[in-house]
Structure 1
Amino acid sequence: MTAQAAVDARWISWMPRWVRSADLARFEVASRSSAGEARRCARPVAEGWRALGQGLRRAQLSLRDMPIADIIAAIDAVAERWMDRSFEPRRRARAEVVIATGFSPEAVDRSFDVELRNYRADSLVRALRRELNRPDVLDRFQPDADLHGSTLATGPRVTLAILTGNVPGLPALSIVRSLLVKSAVIAKVASGEPTFAARFVQTLAEVEPRFGDAIAVTYWERDDEASLRSALAEADAVIAYGSDDACAAIRAHVAPHQRYVEHGHKVSVAVIARDYLLDLGPGEVARRVAVDVSTFNQHACIAPQAVLVEGDAISVRAFAAELATAMDDDARACPLGALEEAEAASLQLRRLAYTWRAASRPGCDLWCPAGLDWAVVLSTDLTGLTGSGNRVVHVVPVLDMDSVMDALRPVARHLQNVGLGANGPQFWAAAETLARLGACRVSEPGRMAEPSMMWRHDGMQCIAQLIRWCDVEMHRESERAGGRRGGA
């Protein structure tokens, strides 16, 4: 409800301290997990959205006046706290996320670690430098030698962030990106995991009260177009995560004047060249791929759904067996967790289909434990990829690297992250071809689940896309200022 109410673990919303109680409706959100209890939430009443937007725009003036160095330092201090696994708010958040998602505590902790370390100061500074050239361009006009003038970057007054719930900790990314461009935030949490955002914002507010006054976290149902339109009416920019259909529904309501950054459905794969496999050995490559698959329980778009391995049927089958062993080892250290009944039934049906295919089609096979912690499916092609996650990975033999590109062409439109196991000239040739095919990130196997803040997420400059620039050129004052500052 209010900023202080977020201390109550049942609250999934955060409202700045200046919000009037009369402008809020209070309601309960049923848990999607059979183990969870109903959550409490506050959301502006129909006529209260305008007041929320006006208040956030006033609060944004305080963010605008903060030096970007101070904003970075405050976010860094929050990240430092949350990186400590003994930090009590993190411990509480982990317990809530376990209930909401069914992830094991170990899987949630692994996910938190991967996400939160990106918000340390060095990472944030490098991300801003890569996209804006110099962070202080957000503070005041700075000389631009190519322009022979000066330039200033201005972020949105208010950003609407439609958050995802399939990756623990990921909701922080949209909030952090918004704060980095000095924007206030309306954050809409996901029904699948609605608890983390309010906990994280509470710590942001404790470290820097101006953050707490400039962020509202709330929830509405996917088909509640009235709330979506009301929130959009107060926003200058929108960041949206979701399926292609969900993103399309949001996009349909975005006005031409609003910046829109969308992260829809994506497919990621690992590609293992024959020489790379010989160089590192099947066991080590399998261990690395198992980490990539298992982190985030394979729910993140950056997790590989398939591994394309260069080699003959016998050698690729041997690698699939090694991967099964590695998946089992990883699951012992970091279990999948508990699936909801419907999700478990769906996974069982998929396994039955893979079992039937293994029995009826040459070149197909299946490795899986008695439980549902993982499955390795040996296939002859990429048919049957569902993107449903839960550590089900397909292994597909390919004759050569050209065959890899042919196999990936049908999913090129959604291709995102490739763990490319290759060496020397073969690596660079394959990386360039993958880039032109549609991939926006290439990393080594074992590092697929560790994207940095510097990565251009989905091939976009996600921070820069929120920015509006003002250039001063062809003016003697800018030329004088550039000379005084050592610029143009």
Structure 2
Amino acid sequence: MPIAQIIDAIDCAATKWCNPAWPERIACRDRVAQFTGFSPEVVDRSFDLELRNYRADSLWRVLRREIGDPGVLDGAVFDINLWGYTTAVGPNLVAAILSGNVPGLPALSIVRVLLAKAPMIAKVASGEPCFAAEFVRSLHKISPVLGDALLVTYWRSDETEQLREVTTEVDTVIAYGGIPALKALRAVLPPSVRLLEHSHKLSVGYITRDHLALEQSRLAKAIAIDISTFNQQACITPQAYFIQDEAGTVASFATMVAAALEAMSRKLPLGTLSLSCAAAVRLARLDNSWVTAIDANTSLEHDKGLEFTVTTAATLGQYESIRNRFLCLIPVSGIDDVVAQLAPWRSHLQNVGLGCEPTELTPLLHQFSRIGVSRICSPGRMAEPSMMWCHDGRTCVAELLRWCDVEMHELIPKHES
């Protein structure tokens, strides 16, 4: 099947999913909200942000960025640098262990595998088993050939025999999950199977002193967007923001962020937390209230319910945060302080929301890239990565492919020196 036909089919499905009035989307949204506890408004925003990435223009751009000439997926293409012919082929069969914490995210792995012209077995998460099957069903209606290349299924995480049976049939596994889960997966994979893993990551923000002085109101609203989208469940959303200023200034800014989050909660309500998540938020608030009682340099802001919490702290501490719109603002002296605090987590870093002045951007890009950050964007855009972003610093379509080159062959036209 030509790559152009594959992209046209995906684009057609994405167009339907980007229509908030499409009945199939509404039905799926309500089921996802029921399973995850997210409000329907949060699920809708998640669908909007995720599924717009799979329009045709975006897919052609990601192929051109990662592999140069998309024609290599359809056959031999002459490469002037090789001075020969080259072609790219995808895996014979891919298994994907999908994430369930971000509505719409399973489409990312499905689309990448289809762009590599590979069939796929997709295991959904127990916490959100709905979307992947509905997305594949919509693709099947548009292109039965593509739909038949995709199997959506489920098995429990403790059903290792089921996992072994699947992985003996595939040559590539894509997996999302925590570090223990991925370690357990690696232990059962045959040596010949390639594992492309996306483990839990840490994302943060950083706002410089000069930028904060000019943009406080706008930045508070932007941070509220970063926190409210996906309810901080996605790795790309920030668990903390570093603020280059004194503790008193940061505490005042925390009040502005809390007000922005309160306003955002009326437009994008959190949803319903599980008992364990609600207890974690309440316990963290209690811990922070004790800290603020004895340390005048810290602060705590939250609503009467559980919609949002904003606290200030001297250091990052443990990167596995409470999530569910629980944000920590950290006063710092500058980028060296930020780098020092992030150093223990360099293998887990992903996204930085960077508020800075024009002259500060390039030096800060160098600093963050050196410690493992793979994406930098403006505050307020942290939850909106494009398909063109090198996810976790990798070219995720290209890494699925295997290349075959023809060089130094008598049938290749002679090079004119």
Deviates more, 1:110-119 or 1:346-355: 346-355
The 2-side partners of 1:256 and 1:135 are apart by 30
Alpha-carbon contact 1:299-1:388 (below 8 Å) kept: no
Counterpart amino acid of 2:173?
V
209, 214, 220: which one aligns with 2:144: 209
Aligned to 2:400: 466
C-alpha displacement at 1:384, in angstroms? 4.2
1:112-261 → structure 2 map (5 Å cutoff): 112-261=47-196
20, 29, 39: which one aligns with 1:104: 39
467, 475, 483: which one aligns with 2:409: 475
Deviations 1:402-446 (A, max 9, x none): 222122212222111001111223221011110001101011111
| TM-score, normalised relative to structure 2 | 0.97
4+ runs deviating over 4 angstroms: none
Matched, 1:406 2:330: no
Alpha-carbon contact 2:220-2:257 (below 8 Å) kept: yes
The 1-side partners of 2:146 and 2:395 are apart by 24
The 2-side partners of 1:421 and 1:340 are apart by 34
Aligned to 2:295: 361
Alpha-carbon contact 1:110-1:295 (below 8 Å) kept: yes
The 2-side partners of 1:407 and 1:381 are apart by 7
Secondary structure of 2:21's counterpart equals coil
Aligned to 1:47: none
Matched, 1:392 2:326: yes
Secondary structure of 2:203's counterpart equals strand
The 1-side partners of 2:105 and 2:301 are apart by 31
Matched, 1:340 2:280: no
Counterpart amino acid of 2:276?
A
Counterpart amino acid of 1:324?
A
C-alpha displacement at 1:401, in angstroms? 2.1
Secondary structure of 1:252's counterpart equals helix
The 2-side partners of 1:170 and 1:207 are apart by 20
Counterpart amino acid of 1:438?
G
C-alpha displacement at 1:361, in angstroms? 2.7
The 2-side partners of 1:297 and 1:478 are apart by 56
Alpha-carbon contact 2:37-2:271 (below 8 Å) kept: yes
Counterpart amino acid of 1:246?
A
Aligned to 1:439: 373
Secondary structure of 2:156's counterpart equals coil
Secondary structure of 1:393's counterpart equals strand
Matched, 1:94 2:5: no
Secondary structure of 1:125's counterpart equals helix
282, 287, 303: which one aligns with 2:221: 287
Aligned to 1:69: 4
Counterpart amino acid of 2:142?
V
Secondary structure of 2:239's counterpart equals strand
Secondary structure of 2:395's counterpart equals coil
| TM-score, normalised relative to structure 1 | 0.83
C-alpha displacement at 1:381, in angstroms? 0.8
- Provide the identity percentage: 48
Deviations 1:34-92 (A, max 9, x none): xxxxxxxxxxxxxxxxxxxxxxxxxxxxxxxx110110010000000000001111111
The 2-side partners of 1:476 and 1:318 are apart by 73
Aligned to 2:254: 320
Aligned to 1:381: 315
Alpha-carbon contact 1:358-1:365 (below 8 Å) kept: yes
The 1-side partners of 2:267 and 2:317 are apart by 31
Alpha-carbon contact 2:85-2:405 (below 8 Å) kept: yes
Aligned to 1:455: 389
Secondary structure of 1:269's counterpart equals strand
Deviates more, 1:116-125 or 1:243-252: 243-252
Secondary structure of 2:412's counterpart equals helix
Alpha-carbon contact 1:366-1:376 (below 8 Å) kept: yes
263, 273, 289: which one aligns with 2:208: 273
The 1-side partners of 2:125 and 2:292 are apart by 37
The RMSD of aligned alpha carbons is 1.4
Secondary structure of 2:128's counterpart equals coil
The 2-side partners of 1:86 and 1:188 are apart by 28
The 1-side partners of 2:188 and 2:116 are apart by 23
C-alpha displacement at 1:478, in angstroms? 3.0
- Structure 2, unpaired ranges of 5+: none
Deviates more, 1:383-392 or 1:453-462: 383-392
The 2-side partners of 1:388 and 1:87 are apart by 34
Secondary structure of 1:367's counterpart equals strand
